[in-house]
Amino acid sequence: MSLYDRFEAAFMPNYGVPPVALARGEGCEVWDVDGNRYLDMIGGIAVSSLGHAHPALVEAVSRQVATIAHTSNLFLHEPEVLLAERLLGLLGGQGRVFLANSGTEANECAFKLALKYGKTTGRTYFVAAENAFHGRTMGALSLTGKPSIRDQFGPFPVDVRFVPYGDADALKNAVTDECAAVFLEPTQGEAGVVPPPDGYFRAAREICTAAGALLVADEIQSAIGRTGHWFAHQHEGVLPDILTLAKGLGGGMPIGACVGFGPAGTIFAKGDHGSTFGGNPVSAAAALAVLGTIENDGLLEHVRTVGAELADGIAAVDHPLLGGVRGRGLWRAIVLTSARSAQVQAAAQRAGFLVNALQPDAVRLAPPLTITSEQVATFVAALPAILDEASRD
């Protein structure tokens, strides 16, 4: 039996069977179990910030696992303290951190902070955006504005009202002094890498401040250099009350973080929340290696440069299936003129590139932040033939 058949027989059917079985990676390249090589243009969904087997990550994780791998939250350790301080430093210094293991857990922490804030201030509902993705656990799922993955698991414990993403007037109308919190992605990721109109996030900040609602920025996909800034909300120069992070933070090791600013940093009292694994030393050491490498290697600047090369290169391709390109930095969607993203993903794979058919008409690119200009150029050069093949299938 092939590995694919064994996967199908052993696992729950929630993922279907993925199209490639990966065996190893090095830099921005990965190899499948049959020895085929691919340029990794999706980076484990914006996770493998430093690519694969990066020496800094290997060194940090190896050293930490050989020193002490786990303490639980009954005991503290230096890597988690260094990491929290480092994150706060990148965010302007003021705030408090909770460390979790994943994106949905980071949002679960934000959800509970907002619930407690609502209960103590008489605020009864949350606002989130249509098509938003915030995760799969029950709190995060209740905020996820995608009926196909949400509705069958309801009802949910909180009234969540959904507004069209990017419409500041609709947001303003939805946020009253009975609203506890507004949850927003600065650019919607799973919805198709969809940026809002300029000024939307700033308007959201003003609306929340005026109504006394918490603004929660879900930067689980957009943070840690992905857009060419440490955090996407920094493009608009506004600070949320609560920020959630995960994907790119650990460079492949599981870690999530929820940061509360100002009074939102001290909503929890002792005993209100916790995680056995959250902020474990190995993941914290990995995150420190990721942040240190981004800074030392000037990767934010690099992301802006190669991200523009990627977008400009795609935009310059003249093809009937190509509708355009959107997103920022190394976080892009190739927009198609018809619903052929699955065919594009398959054709790209045959040509040696891993991309993600995110929406029927949108293909996501989120390569390692370390991808080179030459590698980007290889992909751009291959794109016309990939689109040709995807049009024929």
Interface residues with ligand PLP (CB under 6 A)? 102-104, 107, 133-135, 185, 189-190, 218, 220-221, 246-247
Q: Is 218 a catalytic residue?
A: yes
Beta carbon nearer to ligand PLP, 189 or 192: 189
Sign of CA dihedral 79, 82, 88, 94: positive
The CA distance from 77 to 202, in Å, is: 37
Q: Is 247 a catalytic residue?
A: yes
Q: What is the dihedral of CA 237, 243, 248, 250, to 10 degrees?
A: 130
Beta carbon nearer to ligand PLP, 40 or 343: 40
Grouping H, G, I as helix, E, B as strand and the rest as coil, residue 276 is coil
276 marked as binding residue: yes
136 marked as binding residue: yes
Nearest residue to ligand PLP by CB is 103
Phi, psi of 109 (to 5 degrees): -65, -45
Grouping H, G, I as helix, E, B as strand and the rest as coil, residue 26 is strand
Beta carbon nearer to ligand PLP, 107 or 345: 107
48 marked as binding residue: no
In whole angstroms, how close is the CB of 55 to ligand PLP at the nearest point?
Answer: 25
In whole angstroms, how close is the CB of 372 to ligand PLP at the nearest point?
Answer: 25
Tallying the residues shown for the chain, one arrives at 393
In whole angstroms, how close is the CB of 331 to ligand PLP at the nearest point?
Answer: 10
For 354-383, letters b (16+ CB in 10 Å) and e give bbbbbbebbbbbbbbbbbeeebbebbbebb
The CA distance from 160 to 143, in Å, is: 6
In whole angstroms, how close is the CB of 254 to ligand PLP at the nearest point?
Answer: 8
**Read out DSSP for 298-356?**
THHHHHHHHHHHHHHHHHT---TTEEEEEEETTEEEEEESSS-HHHHHHHHHHTTEE-E
CA-nearest of 80, 27, 81 to 55 is: 27
Beta carbon nearer to ligand PLP, 184 or 376: 184
In whole angstroms, how close is the CB of 234 to ligand PLP at the nearest point?
Answer: 17
CA-nearest of 305, 283, 285, 287 to 370 is: 305
In whole angstroms, how close is the CB of 103 to ligand PLP at the nearest point?
Answer: 2
CA-nearest of 14, 357, 48, 310 to 153 is: 14
Q: Is 169 a catalytic residue?
A: no
219 marked as binding residue: yes
221 marked as binding residue: yes
Q: 111, 162, 241, 247: which one is catalytic?
A: 247
The CA distance from 70 to 123, in Å, is: 39
Beta carbon nearer to ligand PLP, 190 or 361: 190
Q: 111, 126, 201, 218: which one is catalytic?
A: 218
What are the residues whose beta carbons fall under 8 Å from the beta carbon of 49, sequence distance 6 or more?
Answer: 43, 224, 225, 226, 248, 249, 251, 290, 294, 368, 369, 370
150 marked as binding residue: no
Beta carbon nearer to ligand PLP, 110 or 346: 110
| DSSP conformational letter for 179 | E
54, 371 contact by CB (below 8 A):
no
373 marked as binding residue: no
Q: 98, 126, 133, 261: which one is catalytic?
A: 133
275 marked as binding residue: yes
Residues making up the annotated binding site for N(2)-acetyl-L-ornithine are 136, 275
Residues making up the annotated binding site for pyridoxal 5'-phosphate are 103-104, 133, 218-221, 276
Catalytic positions, written as ranges: 133, 218, 247
Residues making up the annotated binding site are 103-104, 133, 136, 218-221, 275-276
